Amino acid sequence: MIRLGIDVGGTNTDAVLVDGDTVRHSVKTATTPDVSTGIVQATKKLASQNPAAHRADAVMVGTTHFTNAVVQRRGVSRIAAVRVGLPAAATLEPFVDWPPDLRTLVKGPTFMIQGGHEVDGTPLAPFDRAAMKDAALQIADSGVEAVGISAVFSPLNFAAEREAAEILQTVAPHVAVTMSHELGRIGLLARENVTLLNASLVSLARRTTGGFVDALRESGIQAVLYITQNDGTVSLADQAARFPVHCFASGPTNSLRGAAFLSGLKEAMVVDVGGTTSDIGCLRRGFPREANNAVEVGGVRTAFRMPDLLSIGLGGGTIVDPKNPNQVGPLSVGYQLEERATVFGGSEITLTDVAVAAGLVDLGERKRTAKFGKDFVNQVITRCHDMLAEAIDRMKTDAEDLPLIAVGGGCFLVPEKIPGISKVVHVAHQGVANAVGAAIAQVSGEVDQIFQNMSRGEALEKARVLASERAVKGGASLKTIAVVEEEDIPLSYLPGNSLRVRVRVVGDVQQRPRATTENKDRLRRE
Amino acid sequence: MAAAPLRITIEHLESFAIGAWIMGTGGGGEPYFSLLEARQHWAQGKSVELIDPMSLGDDDLIACVGQMGAPIAMQEKMCDGPVIAATISMMEEYLGRKFKAVMLWEVGGNNGFQAFLAGAILGLPVVDCDAMGRAFPQADMTTFAISDFSAAPWTMIDIRKNSVIFTEAVDWTWMERMTRKVCTVFGSAAATCKAPRTGREIKSGTCLYTATKAMRIGRTVQAARKAHADPIAAVLQSEKGKLLFRGKVKDAMRRATEGWLRGTVQIDGLDENRGETFRLDFQNEWSVGWQNDKVVVTVPDLICIMDTVSGEAIGTETIRYGQRVTVVALPAPAILMSTKGLKHVGPRAFGYDIDFKSIFPETAR
């Protein structure tokens, strides 16, 4: 199976060709303002250097486009919000905890309607159809293109959200609908926030994924297009166009997954040393460990699955104080390394310069670093190693020693010996780990709901089946599905042995049946 | 002499939310939603005065409010101030008397906020005290029960305005049993106004000044974060607390029995505790702690688990494998450690055949 992985970063668009378990080829091109042109350039370059790219079964694109839209407040749409839940949650309206500037951009007509369910799935109050019809008419008149619908306890019973969406679509068939039960877990406000963020990005996502499809066609590659998500898995492009929020933070995830693939390690720490920061994460069973705390995106509190990452201001471009070797960073020359670093004729002393002086890497002109004192170089490197070692230890949650995979352009800054680390692993293609991570992404399915009146074993089994069904719907091959996370919490106070079960499964992307000459011949013979 | 009334600002409540979550000792729910609601009331110009319990007249009648139910139900239905305020009005109607002020039932977690929301809506001052000095899982684990104050009457309202009044209960255990049933029928969340208290009862039978204590703890955390100092060390210093253990969560096991969330958390030591282990049992809140298999801390001492870096409290429902945590103890109010108090809230009330021995020497209290 041949897969292309494309990582659209802020500076570079990288593309890799992965054949089965092997990275065959990688290229780097500049990211273009319209994103798609960069993808065309990268894939054409890749295909011209390795024609096997034309035989790709799947293309996986990783992009930070949607996160950036929210963070930078551009490209998000004004939307309508409907919450079915009165008389519950009456005082806290939709958008209540959004940063004011983003709320002003996104918040359109907002409605709170009677209905929703209780914790045992029974109706909380009768659904107010008349109020919903009235809201639908107002939404149709308002001209918004998208609406987010949430209902109290919809992860347990989504009937209210479905009913509201049906009424809306009879009146306003062109409005794109996001329903909260499709996106989130228990916790109304966080789930609703995710739903509203998603609705605000649907128009952008349709345009962007449409652009990806066109780019692929222009490159002459006929393969299924997938977009990578924040949990190291992918979804089909049309699914991603419906749920752009799932693509948030896919960059760091791809880098961690790429490191796992390139090293063959499943349980390890990973450090990605870039130009400005080092991101440290932890691999568990080949997937990034997720963060515990409520995750904010552009100031909005969400309930996302996000990789647990620690970023410190230390990278190849980090500026060192010439007078104080202990003052390393946090300022960086960033993408201007080749203009401002000493080894390239610039006037700043960066960590790259000091590493060149120390003989850790060969870049630019080493003789320009001759003026650095030997003690200065040693002290800076020691300080840099201490900072990395401390950050790595903070992220480590196992008592036993673990291997550390070092990736990224600045990975020469990582020391060879670190307390708690069994060995430091360097890999080929470390500069394009993100694109590799995209190429090898899998399809996931998740369930998070309360099961009642059944044994723990029955509940877990039911959850596994539901999660597998969701993964298959997303494009996974059923026979490759494996459980990667399973968690059950008995719920205090609730009747009937209530158990909240969260199960996540992943599977390989379903291989497209291909009518190759060889296959045709075989079919004829048979 | 009684302190002058304090006009509560939203900054006070931001601090209160942080401190109350720490004083929740793992239970009581995160105070986020109620803080959001308070911000709205305060933005509309509403507020409350916090008054010194000692300024109350002996015969003043004080309402005591709290939410009851499962934190998960609150995460979806949230709890609305107007519903909690309605329990007070219902009680006034039943009694045929007006309340002078409202007090906190349970300072820990989200429940301490309910008095501030109700006070702001009804225009009543809030008394600086509560009936637990922390969070506890049951109504019979309160200073009111310890003091043998009456458990009835008790009003209870749900979001639909279904309402119940319990006019008689033999004791707090019966009141706990009856109200728990109704709470489940209401959808595992109910607003309650507990038995009214007189000024005289409050002065002798509550944990005094616990609202200001929560605000003080919150301010300490905020100041430390702002100065990039260690918030946990700051809290321990200001509250005369004790650092018990630093480590990473190795296992979190939960089970639902008899209507509560019980379980055990195992922590492997780090830093100065490397090579050691710590184990904590909980019943909604942290109840007993063992260091290297030896009991070192029990209820009613306040056992808190905090995120080692941010100093944020971590709840028994949310603590997870791999978290870096610090276990600390804060001193409990004296009333909880009296002989009668320990019958209600000591280790034996939680089913452990252990004598209570505070981790804090008596002279330091």
Residues A146/A77, Cβ–Cβ less than 8 Å: yes
Confidence of residue A298 (pLDDT cuts 50, 70, 90): confident
- Retrieve residue B1's tokens: 């002499």
pLDDT digits over B10-40, tens only? 999 999 999 999 999 998 888 999 999 999 9
A490–B188 CB contact, under 8 Å: no
A188–B161 CB contact, under 8 Å: no
pLDDT digits over B249-289, tens only? 888 787 766 556 788 999 999 888 989 999 999 988 999 99
Residue of B nearest to A126 (CA): B160
Alpha carbon of A398: minimum distance to chain B alpha carbons (Å): 8
Residue ranges making up the domain that contains A462: 443-507
**How many domains does chain A fold into?**
1
- On chain A, the residues whose CB falls within 8 A of the CB of B110 are none
Question: Quick check: is A459 in a domain?
Answer: yes
Question: Quick check: is A295 in a domain?
Answer: no
Confidence of residue A526 (pLDDT cuts 50, 70, 90): very low
Residues A349/A319, Cβ–Cβ less than 8 Å: yes
Question: Quick check: is A483 in a domain?
Answer: yes
Residue of B nearest to A90 (CA): B80
- On chain A, the residues whose CB falls within 8 A of the CB of B323 are 292, 397
Residue A76 to residues A244, A297, A439, B325, Cα–Cα distance (Å) = 11, 13, 28, 38
Confidence of residue A21 (pLDDT cuts 50, 70, 90): confident
In this structure, the strands spanning A79-86 and A146-151 are parallel
Confidence of residue B303 (pLDDT cuts 50, 70, 90): very high
Confidence of residue A193 (pLDDT cuts 50, 70, 90): very high
A134 touches chain B (CB under 8 A): no
> Which pLDDT value is given to residue A518?
46
> Which pLDDT value is given to residue B175?
97
User: What is the percent of chain A where pLDDT is above 70?
Assistant: 93
> Which pLDDT value is given to residue B260?
66
B255 touches chain A (CB under 8 A): yes
Confidence of residue A399 (pLDDT cuts 50, 70, 90): low
CATH code assigned at B174: 3.40.1610.10
Task: For chain A, give the mean pLDDT.
Answer: 87
Lowest-confidence region among A4-8, A10-14, A292-296, B169-173 = A292-296
Confidence of residue A511 (pLDDT cuts 50, 70, 90): low
B264 touches chain A (CB under 8 A): no
- On chain B, the residues whose CB falls within 8 A of the CB of A88 are 76-78, 80, 159
> Which pLDDT value is given to residue A523?
47
pLDDT above 80: residue A495:
no
Helices (H), A326-476: 337-340, 351-357, 374-395, 433-439, 456-473
Confidence of residue A514 (pLDDT cuts 50, 70, 90): very low
Summarize the confidence of residues A303-331 as an average pLDDT: 85
Question: Quick check: is A98 in a domain?
Answer: no
> Which pLDDT value is given to residue A185?
76
pLDDT digits over B138-175, tens only? 999 999 999 999 999 999 999 999 999 999 999 999 99
A92–B255 CB contact, under 8 Å: no
pLDDT above 80: residue A520:
no
Q: Rounded to 10 degrees, what is the CA torsion of B303, B307, B310, B315?
A: -70
Residues B26/B304, Cβ–Cβ less than 8 Å: yes
Question: Quick check: is A496 in a domain?
Answer: yes
Phi, psi of A412 (to 5 degrees): -70, -10
B268–A497 CB contact, under 8 Å: no
Confidence of residue A406 (pLDDT cuts 50, 70, 90): very high
Rounded Cα–Cα distance for residues B74 and B68 (Å): 10
B73–A91 CB contact, under 8 Å: no
Confidence of residue B343 (pLDDT cuts 50, 70, 90): very high
> Which pLDDT value is given to residue A292?
62
User: What is the percent of chain B where pLDDT is above 70?
Assistant: 98
Q: Of the candidates A409, A412, A426, which has an alpha carbon nearest to the alpha carbon of residue A274?
A: A409
> Which pLDDT value is given to residue A63?
84
B188–A493 CB contact, under 8 Å: yes
Task: For chain B, give the mean pLDDT.
Answer: 93
Rounded Cα–Cα distance for residues A200 and A178 (Å): 10
pLDDT digits over B40-66, tens only? 999 999 999 999 999 999 999 999 999
Closest CB from A124, A188, A493 relative to B184: A493
Residue B20 to residues B17, B40, B258, B271, Cα–Cα distance (Å) = 5, 20, 26, 28
Residue of B nearest to A97 (CA): B36
A494–B188 CB contact, under 8 Å: yes
Residue of A nearest to B310 (CA): A293
Cβ atoms within 10 Å, residue B296: 19
Question: Quick check: is B153 in a domain?
Answer: yes
pLDDT above 70: residue A519:
no
> Which pLDDT value is given to residue B13?
98
Confidence of residue A148 (pLDDT cuts 50, 70, 90): very high
* Higher per-residue pLDDT: A217 or B163: B163
**How many domains does chain B fold into?**
1
Rounded (5°) CA angle B71-B77-B83: 100
CATH code assigned at A493: 3.30.1490
Summarize the confidence of residues A242-249 as an average pLDDT: 88
Question: Quick check: is A494 in a domain?
Answer: yes
Closest CB from A91, A118, A495 relative to B81: A91
pLDDT above 80: residue A23:
yes
Confidence of residue A398 (pLDDT cuts 50, 70, 90): low
B240 touches chain A (CB under 8 A): no
Lowest-confidence region among A64-73, A381-390, A449-458 = A64-73
Rounded Cα–Cα distance for residues A465 and B137 (Å): 36
> Which pLDDT value is given to residue B270?
85
Tell whether omega for the bond before A100 is within 30 degrees of 0, i.e. cis. no
- Retrieve residue A384's tokens: 């840099």
User: What is the percent of chain A where pLDDT is above 90?
Assistant: 48
Phi, psi of B280 (to 5 degrees): -125, 130
Summarize the confidence of residues A280-300 as an average pLDDT: 80
> Which pLDDT value is given to residue B228?
79
Residue of B nearest to A153 (CA): B76
Question: Quick check: is A491 in a domain?
Answer: yes
Residues 253-292 of A with CB under 8 A from B: 289, 292
* Higher per-residue pLDDT: A298 or B352: B352
Question: Quick check: is A500 in a domain?
Answer: yes
Closest CB from B36, B187, B268 relative to A124: B187
pLDDT above 70: residue A524:
no
Tell me, what amino acid is at A261?
F
Interface residue of A83, A84, A86, A91 to substitute, partner B, most B CBs within 10 Å:
A91
Over its C-alpha atoms, chain B yields an Rg (Å, rounded) of 19
Report CA torsion sign: A387, A388, A390, A391: positive
B76–A87 CB contact, under 8 Å: no
- On chain A, the residues whose CB falls within 8 A of the CB of B157 are none
pLDDT digits over B213-244, tens only? 999 999 999 999 888 789 999 999 999 999 99
> Which pLDDT value is given to residue B257?
60
